[in-house]
Amino acid sequence: MAQKPSKIREFQKRFPDEDSCLTHLMRTRFGERFTCFKCQKEATYFRVKARRSFECEHCGYQVYPTAGTPFEKTRTSLRDWFYVMFLFCETRNGVAAKEVERQLGVTYKTAWRMCHLIRLYMGYVDGDAPMGGPGKAVEVDETFIGGKDKQGKDDKAIVMGIVERGGDVVTRVVQARSKSHIVPHIVRFVRDGSRVHTDEASNFKLLKEKYGYDHEAVDHSAKEYVRGDVHTNSIETF
Ligand SMILES: [Zn+2]
């Protein structure tokens, strides 16, 4: 797993510290200027010192660019994460957790987890190929990402995820959690004959009735999370 020295130098120059990584994450996820989630004005967001956040120039609303990413709840530095992602980009035949353990001086468990999550996300970046197929289980779920409050109000983006158990992941930002916004993505990314697992069955009736999927749901509002092998734990974990 030898990297070209020039490539490593390039990486080190571009991402010399935590700040440069955090700023990159912010710009990649939200762009240079965007409509503030709170005051709704077109805004530039400035870095907040001593926090991993940026604030709106008008109202001071803070956005944490790591929210909803694997970097959110981890003691591993962003720079270490970025370095391992760099290894993934530069290495054709895969990155071994053992090697990450050695290069970063982290535990094997940490190294393995980093590699695992990066692989999942790269699956998303690479592949918008259809997933599932007859008999295969695919889970669908939506979640709110971004901002500070945990109430899931309008100031957050809604992201839907589709994951084949043990396989690929696709995520998409959607306008609303209604079936008209969710179902078209399922039809596009999930092959005929798949077993589609969701929560809240009512929203997804037409998966079976119109599109012929083998659809099964757990009812989270009734505190049902697992019934046999019917659950959405894989996508929620993702
Ligand atoms: Zn604002």
| pLDDT tens sequence across 142-197 | 877 665 555 545 556 778 888 888 777 887 777 777 888 888 888 888 988 899 98
What single-letter DSSP state applies at residue 203?
A: G
What is the CA(2)–ligand 1 centre distance, in A? Answer: 46
How many distinct helices (H) and strands (E) make up the chain? 8, 9
Instruction: State the pLDDT at residue 62.
Output: 95
| Sequence ranges of the domains in the chain | 7-125, 137-237
pLDDT band with cut points at 50, 70 and 90 for residue 124: low
What's the CA gap between 121 and 171, in Å, rounded? 9
Q: Which amino acid is at 126?
A: D
User: In Å, what is the CA distance from 68 to each residue of 20, 92, 124, 236?
Assistant: 19, 28, 15, 11
Quick one: average pLDDT of 40-64? 94
* Ion ligand 1 — residues with CB < 5 Å: 36, 38-39, 56, 58-59, 61
pLDDT at 98: 94
- CATH code, residues 137-237: 3.30.420.10
Q: What pTM, to 2 d.p., does this model score?
A: 0.54
Q: Output the pLDDT for position 33.
A: 86
CA separation for the pair 1, 99 (Å, rounded)? 8
Residue with tokens 């396989």: 167
Give the distance (Å) from ligand 1 centre to CA of residue 196: 39
pLDDT of the residue at 128: 65
Residues 6+ apart with CB under 8 A from 182: 140, 142, 160, 174, 203, 204
Q: Could you report the per-residue pLDDT of 63-112, keeping only the tens digit for each?
A: 999 987 888 888 899 999 999 999 987 876 678 899 999 999 999 999 99
- Position 5 pLDDT exceeds 80: no
The answer to whether 79 touches 18, Cβ cutoff 8 Å, is yes
> Ligand 1 centroid vs 47 CA: distance in angstroms?
14
* Ligand 1 center–CA 60 separation, angstroms: 6
Instruction: Calculate mean pLDDT across residues 108-136.
Output: 80
Distance, CA 235 to ligand 1 centroid (Å)?
A: 31
pLDDT category of residue 52 using cuts at 50, 70 and 90: very high
Distance 38 CA to ligand 1 centre (A): 5
Please say whether the beta carbons of 213 and 204 come within 8 A: no
Determine the distance separating the centroid of ligand 1 and the alpha carbon of 44, expressed in angstroms. Answer: 9
Enumerate residues 6+ apart whose C-beta is below 8 A from 77.
18
Q: How far is the CA of 50 from the centre of ligand 1 (A)?
A: 20
Residue 21: band (very low, low, confident or very high) from pLDDT cuts 50, 70, 90: very high
pLDDT classification of 130: cutoffs 50, 70, 90: confident
